[in-house]
């Protein structure tokens, strides 16, 4: 990826975090900054990196550059509630994603059911399908809520479904994780990888259904199943993946993912309690979101974006330590204290710029 595109994407990611604090300190009565907070990171940046990773090569193609520009129109039209524009741009984005998906794989995703295809490929395909499906479902929600008004459900809102745009990043990151486990060919390991794949993909779908139905107990069971799958992936990755620089960042990312599972389970338990007060648990939800978006997802995007550049020149453990401090301490506390929000943006800017622009070097001089 060329320097100009990396500059635009890193700037967009930093801007996304800034919008995460804007609703608190500079609120607008009619608009919700959280939409920009989510869309700029997950769709505009994450979607662009996913498609570029799928296409391969170092230069951003015109098609992917067009996706990036169109995704910005989508994000701001959704923010300003210009829904006709959002629906048109959504259709364009779906066509681009599906075009690239079919080029890479096939129209019918048969490899999901082929035992001779590695799980890393299946996660990659699932990420592309999730992106196009997410765009389609969000459009249907807009059409229902703004025009047809056929279904009524307090959770059936764009603000609920735009969270789904983080799943493509998660899935392609898991593809990168499993690509480092392709050498494990034993029947037992292959079976475990397949179980993890189906548990995560079906689990996320079922979990969303239970959110709409407000089935909290069932949400807990699904979340625990997802946690067990991630824990198994963590074990396989630690034990069998080659000890290279990417492994440190992806291990840290899986740590963030497990952390979000724990905070998610805790939030559901609190939500079920008799004395539940939404305002008193906002800190936990913000902790969950920041760890997910700016912890787990950033690890994945950085590794995918720099896939052909590793090893890169940086002190890995120091960057990871600052990353955790920023995502699970400074950013959540920044919801309540402006000074911490400023520190979180500064820390996140340092991490993003370091990961995106550190020079690559020879393996012999790289510090793990």
CA gap 171, 347 in Å, rounded: 26
Q: How large is the average pLDDT for residues 95-122?
A: 93
pLDDT above 70 covers a percentage of the chain that reads 96
Task: Return the minimum-mean-pLDDT range out of 49-53, 103-107, 222-226, 272-276.
Answer: 272-276
Average pLDDT of span 92-96: 97
Indicate whether 368 pLDDT > 50.
Answer: no
Residue 363 has pLDDT above 60, yes or no: no
**For residue 313, pLDDT beyond 80:** no
| More confident of the two residues 42 and 307 | 42
What pLDDT was estimated at residue 367? 39
**Does 353 score more than 70 pLDDT?**
yes
Q: How far separated are the first and last CA of the chain, in Å rounded?
A: 23
Confirm if 189 and 236 have CB atoms less than 8 A apart. yes
Per-residue pLDDT at 88: 97
Between residues 48 and 280, the one the model is more confident about: 48
Cross-strand bridge partners of residue 312: 360
Which pLDDT belongs to residue 155?
73
Choose the weakest-confidence range: 218-232, 270-284, 339-353.
270-284
Instruction: Please state, in angstroms and rounded to a whole number, the distance separating the CA atoms of residues 38 and 293.
Output: 8
Q: Per mean pLDDT, which range of 157-171, 222-236, 341-355 is the poorest? A: 157-171
Burial of 235 (0-12, 13-18, 19+ CB in 10 A): exposed
What's the CA gap between 75 and 73, in Å, rounded? 6
Determine whether 249 is exposed, middle or buried from the number of CB atoms within 10 Å of its CB (0-12, 13-18, 19+).
Answer: buried
Is residue 115 predicted with pLDDT exceeding 90? no
Question: 200-204, 209-213, 303-307: which has the highest mean pLDDT?
Answer: 200-204
Axis-axis angle for helices 62-79, 48-55 (nearest 10): 160
- Mean pLDDT: which of 30-39, 276-285, 321-330 is highest? 321-330
Contacts 24+ apart (CB under 8 A), 221-227: 223/261, 223/264, 223/265, 223/268, 224/265, 225/199, 226/199, 226/200, 226/261, 227/258, 227/261, 227/262, 227/265
pLDDT at 361: 61
**Residue in 291, 316, 309 with CA at minimum distance from that of residue 360:** 309
Which pLDDT value is given to residue 364? 40
Instruction: Tell me: pLDDT of 359 over 90.
Output: no
Q: Residue 360's beta-bridge partner residues?
A: 312
Answer for the pair 332, 283: CB distance below 8 angstroms, yes or no: yes
Q: Is residue 365 scored above 60 in pLDDT?
A: no
Q: Do residues 42 and 297 touch, judged by C-beta distance below 8 A?
A: yes
Question: Do the beta carbons of residue 217 and residue 289 sit within 8 Å?
Answer: no
> Tokens for 73?
């129109």
Between 59 and 232, whose confidence is greater? 232
Burial 27-66 (b: 16+ CB within 10 A, else e): eeeeebbbbbbbbbbbbbbbbbbbbbbbeeeeebeeebee
Q: How far is it, in rounded angstroms, from Cα 79 to Cα 77? A: 5
Check whether 356 has a pLDDT greater than 80: yes
Kindly tell me if the per-residue pLDDT of 161 is higher than 80.
Answer: no
| Among 80-89, 264-273, 321-330, the least confident range | 264-273
């Amino acid at each position: 990826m060329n320097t100009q595109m990396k500059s635009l994407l890193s700037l967009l990611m930093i801007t996304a975090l800034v919008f995460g604090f804007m609703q608190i300190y500079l609120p607008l009565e009619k608009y919700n900054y959280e939409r920009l907070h989510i869309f700029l990171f997950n769709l505009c940046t994450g979607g662009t990196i996913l498609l570029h990773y799928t296409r391969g090569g170092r230069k951003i193609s015109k098609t992917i550059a067009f996706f990036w520009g169109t995704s910005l129109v989508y994000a701001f039209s959704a923010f300003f509630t210009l829904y006709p524009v959002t629906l048109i741009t959504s259709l364009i984005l779906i066509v681009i994603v599906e075009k690239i998906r079919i080029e890479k794989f096939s129209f019918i995703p048969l490899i999901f059911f082929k035992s001779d295809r590695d799980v890393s490929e299946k996660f990659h395909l699932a990420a592309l399908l999730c992106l196009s499906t997410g765009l389609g479902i969000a459009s249907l929600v807009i059409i229902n809520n703004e025009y047809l008004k056929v279904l009524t459900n307090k959770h059936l809102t764009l603000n609920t479904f735009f969270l789904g745009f983080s799943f493509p990043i998660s899935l392609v990151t898991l593809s990168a994780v499993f690509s480092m486990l392709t050498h494990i060919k034993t029947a037992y390991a292959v079976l475990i990888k397949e179980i993890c794949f189906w548990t995560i993909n079906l689990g996320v779908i079922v979990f969303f259904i239970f959110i709409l139905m407000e089935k909290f107990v069932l949400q807990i069971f699904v979340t625990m199943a997802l946690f067990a799958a991630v824990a198994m992936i963590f074990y396989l990755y630690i034990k069998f993946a080659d000890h290279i620089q990417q492994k440190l960042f992806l291990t840290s990312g899986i740590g963030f993912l497990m952390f979000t599972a724990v905070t998610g389970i805790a939030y559901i338990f609190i939500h079920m309690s008799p004395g539940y007060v939404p305002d008193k648990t906002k800190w936990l939800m913000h902790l969950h979101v920041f760890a997910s978006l700016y912890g787990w997802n950033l690890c994945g995007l950085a590794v995918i974006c720099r896939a052909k550049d590793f090893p890169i020149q940086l002190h890995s453990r120091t960057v990871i330590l600052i990353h955790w401090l920023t995502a699970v301490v400074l950013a959540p506390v920044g919801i309540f204290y402006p000074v911490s929000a400023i520190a979180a943006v500064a820390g996140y800017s340092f991490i993003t710029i370091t990961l995106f622009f550190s020079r690559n070097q020879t393996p012999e001089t790289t510090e793990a």
